[in-house]
Amino acid sequence: MGYYVNGDGALRIKKENLVKAHEALMALQDAPDKAKSGGSSGGDKAPRFWFSWMPEDLRTLTDTKAVFAELGFEVREEVPTGDLIISNYDNKRGQEDVFFAAAAPFIEDGEYEWTGEDGDFWLWKFEEGRMFVRHGAREYGEREEILVADLHGEMIALKERVDSMFVKS
């Protein structure tokens, strides 16, 4: 599961870069088999390999928007610019990083923060056409005891303040 932390809540590919981004993504079709961890088939014939949870033939994804939608991201074209906005991911596809790295030269500077199912944290940063990853850890402050009596007192005081706002004359 992931979520965006940059200013506008999404990564952006400008309209004028969408065709070039799609070409870079389609070049992954010819990536070495060892780069494709989605599976293989072939039986007695030469094996065929593909990326995790993606079509065996990436060329069936006709544009940049279709690629990122297939990966499990919410995508939309911004009005009126026509820029592609990539946001919100709550899926388990597998090789998103490969596709984002391929498109990195066309992604505007921004960040995407991930929270993994095992409590891992990492951040993708897109900067000047390159993609970086940073691994993180969650840290907690000092332990504080919470007492029901304290909470009850705070709730009574809050109720009294609210009630005083609506005193009838």
Closest to 106 measured CA to CA, from 29, 5, 26, 2:
26
Helix (H, G, I), strand (E, B) or coil at 34: helix
Question: Which region, left, alpha or beta, applies to residue 83 given φ > 0 means left and ψ of -120 to 50 means alpha?
Answer: beta
Q: What integer best gives the mean pLDDT of the chain?
A: 85
pLDDT at 6 > cutoff 70 = no
Please give the pLDDT value at position 67: 97
Q: Is the dihedral of CA 3, 82, 97, 108 positive or negative?
A: negative
Summarize pLDDT for 8-61 with one digit per residue, the tens: 558 999 999 999 999 999 999 999 888 888 776 766 677 888 898 899 899 999
pTM score over 0.85: no
Mean pLDDT of all residues in 57-86:
95
pLDDT at 73 > cutoff 80 = yes
pLDDT at 156 > cutoff 60 = yes
**Residue 85: which pLDDT band, with cuts at 50, 70 and 90?**
very high
